[in-house]
């Protein structure tokens, strides 16, 4: 039986920003999926104790004033989240998380910030596994699809719904649906490869996509986890290489610029791209914590 037909635990959070080392969790949802049962949902609103930037609040709707009025104290909420996730991992149930290195690393830092045991500590030093990251799987299995690859795009690509983007419960449910659809499509590639080839008829190499899904369908859950480690590393290295290439092109343009304002703008863009490339981490599903010196 493929992993998508068994139990899963989906997790999603909304935050004060995108910096895993310093930003905070504002809302979070844990959704337990059991075959033949309705999903069991636990969610929370956390008062992070810091300002929620306007740009973050505009995305998820939780302003500083709102979390101060409705949010709970962080430590108690973070404790049950971590306990639920660790219990699932200890039982061999996969965590399903879109962009796992962000959500899991941010959770790790929040637990440390509040003096709580981290997931790896709760697991007695065992790896944080198994994890299913639909963003990694999608990019590996359908690498030639044009366009964006955010959660809403994955829902469209796999024919499943998302009820309200950037609501943690809706996102967690959507992540679980996409993961299931990916597993289902892999099974379909074994049973009816021509049908799956037709789905990807507009791609450059539809036969390669079918073969990729077929090979994926043969992997055990543990093998799927390990495959994502390598796939994620290749994917982020590819992005970093693209940013470095763009930086080199802009630098060359700046060198030839006759307008000083244009040159200064181009060099600023060069620096931003190179910093972005330098900040790429290949670690998955959680970035290693480095104690401050």
- What pLDDT does residue 192 have? 98
- Cβ within 8 Å of residue 254, ≥6 positions away: 262, 263, 266, 267, 270
- What pLDDT does residue 292 have? 81
Cβ-based neighbour number of residue 200 at 10 Å: 19
- What pLDDT does residue 206 have? 95
- What pLDDT does residue 144 have? 87
Instruction: Encode pLDDT of 156-213 as tens digits.
Output: 999 999 999 899 999 999 999 999 999 999 999 999 999 999 999 999 899 999 999 9
Place of tokens 């003096």: 115
pTM to 2 decimal places: 0.94
Query: What does R_g of the chain's alpha carbons equal in angstroms?
Result: 21
Nearest partner of 42 among 54, 26, 53, 29, judged by Cα: 29
In the sheet that holds 8-15, the strands lie side by side as 40-45, 25-33, 8-15, 95-96, 131-132
- Low pLDDT (below 70) residues in the chain: none
- What pLDDT does residue 89 have? 98
Torsion, Cα of 67, 68, 74, 80 (10° steps): -50
- What pLDDT does residue 257 have? 86
Q: State the Cα–Cα distance between residues 84 and 12, nearest whole angstrom.
A: 13
Q: Does domain 3-220 match CATH 3.30.420.10?
A: yes
Q: State the Cα–Cα distance between residues 63 and 15, nearest whole angstrom.
A: 11
Place of tokens 């796999």: 158
């Amino acid at each position: 039986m493929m992993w998508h037909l068994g139990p899963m635990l989906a997790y999603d959070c909304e935050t004060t920003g995108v910096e895993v080392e310093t930003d905070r969790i504002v809302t979070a949802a844990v959704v337990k999926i059991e075959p033949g049962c309705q999903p069991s949902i636990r969610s929370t609103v956390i008062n992070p104790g810091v300002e929620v930037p306007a740009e973050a609040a505009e995305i998820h709707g939780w302003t500083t004033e709102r979390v101060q009025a409705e949010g709970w104290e962080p430590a108690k909420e973070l404790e049950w989240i971590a306990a639920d996730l660790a219990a699932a991992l200890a039982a061999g149930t996969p965590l399903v998380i879109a962009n796992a290195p962000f959500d899991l690393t941010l959770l790790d830092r929040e637990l440390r910030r509040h003096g709580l045991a981290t997931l790896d500590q709760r697991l007695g030093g065992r790896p944080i596994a198994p994890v299913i990251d639909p963003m990694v799987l999608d990019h590996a299995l359908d690498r030639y699809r044009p366009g964006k690859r955010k959660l809403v795009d994955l829902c469209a690509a796999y024919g499943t719904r998302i009820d309200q983007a950037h609501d943690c419960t809706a996102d967690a449910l959507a992540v679980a649906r996409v993961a299931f659809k990916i597993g289902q499509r892999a099974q379909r590639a074994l049973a009816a490869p021509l049908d799956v080839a037709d789905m990807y008829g507009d791609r450059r190499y539809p036969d390669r996509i079918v073969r990729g899904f077929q090979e994926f369908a043969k992997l055990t859950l543990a093998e799927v986890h390990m495959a994502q480690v390598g796939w994620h590393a290749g994917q982020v290295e590819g992005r970093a290489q693209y940013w470095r290439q763009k930086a080199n092109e802009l630098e060359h343009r700046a060198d030839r610029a006759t307008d000083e304002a244009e040159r200064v703008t181009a060099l600023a863009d060069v620096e931003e791209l190179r910093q972005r490339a330098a900040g790429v981490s290949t670690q998955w599903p959680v970035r290693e914590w480095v104690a401050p010196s």
